[in-house]
Structure 1
Amino acid sequence: MIDLRLIGIGTGNPDHLTREADKAMRAADVILLPRKRSDTADLIDLRRMLCAGLDGPRIAEFDLPVRATDAPYPDAVEGWHDAIAGAWRTEIIRHLPAGGTLALLIWGDPSLYDSSLRIAARLKRDGMAMRVGVVPGITSLQALTAAHAIPLNRIASPVAITTGRRLRDHGWPSGFDTIAVMLDKGCAFDAIDPAGVEIWWGAYLGMAQQALAAGPLQETGEEIRDRRAALRAEHGWIMDVYLLRRAMA
């Protein structure tokens, strides 16, 4: 039996690690760290730093499969998740052949735009004896609203959480005056009418290179596009999120 612990570690600030997360990391037999391409080395370096002071668990690293770019997005994601599940299985057999507790450190929180729970479900579906537990972490949305000192929602108003792809392809979600946009590869706010829209944007939230911008989208959109391009060129990668809010009718 494998006891899999998916531990949310926040968005880059070591102080985001909760006491529960620290306790779960120390109780693990193995902590598995994914290695991505070299231009996102900051991400595994942070995970290594979080593990550096731990006495109990063994630390193992593996190469994270790369998502295909020559297939429709849903098919590419399904294939990618299958490949990651296969990589997890290989590492579990290698490091915990007799069972035990395996921890994975999840950027942000395992429940919000992260597929670790779906990948774990593949292993269970394929017959691996496994219990799955989640330790919640600070999400990028929490880090964004905290950085700008704003509430996520208006009083008695809902918020839509969507992706850059859906905003670009389908426009502003109906029935919402506030939307949070994640996983945006390229300023999808350009696809909407900026009139009467405010934006609060953040990149590398919680990390030393954190960048913020806020204001009317008509005035701030160009600034964000330019800063985003410069930051991506400087660091080789970027993770950002933003909140859009329409003026009250």
Structure 2
Amino acid sequence: MTQRHDFQSIGCAECTKGAGLGFDFTMAFQPIVNVTTKTIFAQEALVRGMAEEPAGEILARVNNENQYRFDQACRVKAVQLSAKLNIKSYVSINFLPNAVYRPELCIRTTLEAAETFGFPIDRIIFEITEGEKIEDRAHLLEIIKYYQQEGFLTAIDDFGAGYSGLNLLADIQTDLVKLDMGLIRHIDCNKNRQAIVKGIVQVCNELKIQIIAEGIETYEELDVLQSFGIELFQGYYFAKPKFQGLAVLENL
């Protein structure tokens, strides 16, 4: 297991200032929509640089030494901006599983931020980024169970990409699964992808897990996925991420 570093308590105020990382960052928000009810289900908080640099440029500066402080700062900044923007839906925050050494301690800063900025904890979704190799699956299961007990929703992001796929889902039942855009792209004219997604939908239905299809760019992709019974969607077809703000929805 990779050694974890720098796990002293970090205050909410310190996190808003960058948590001593040596670099600062902020968030953009992209809506997740329910096409059945024609409402916004959630806003996903996406890392951006202070000059709107993409997430990749910021994440490239995260390493084993600073990932805990970065993970804590992400949570606080997302909650702070969500409260400032008066978001009424869920807010989805990505977290780094390998940065959480003890869930009951690592969640303290999130709870402090929710209280400080007046954002309800029952509107927070924590997303596992499946593209990150999970070093200790039993530990991740402990994290998910603890977060669910504390009233947070949980999700597997980028499902169908990365290291785990269905094997991860067999051990860890989150509240939501977000289908990777690699499965979504041009699904309307790809029978193989349609068959795979249908299978995932059936599995998730039996496990009582909601599916979010992300990366929707065309009506044709949306139409096929709706025919499979999926209701929650995210992608440029509806709105691009808005830097420190909320995007105007299209095509809903």
Q: Same fold (TM over 0.5)?
A: no
The structure whose Rg is larger is 1
Higher strand share: 1
Q: Which has the higher contact order (CA 8 A, sep 6+)?
A: 1
TM-score norm. by structure 2 comes to 0.31
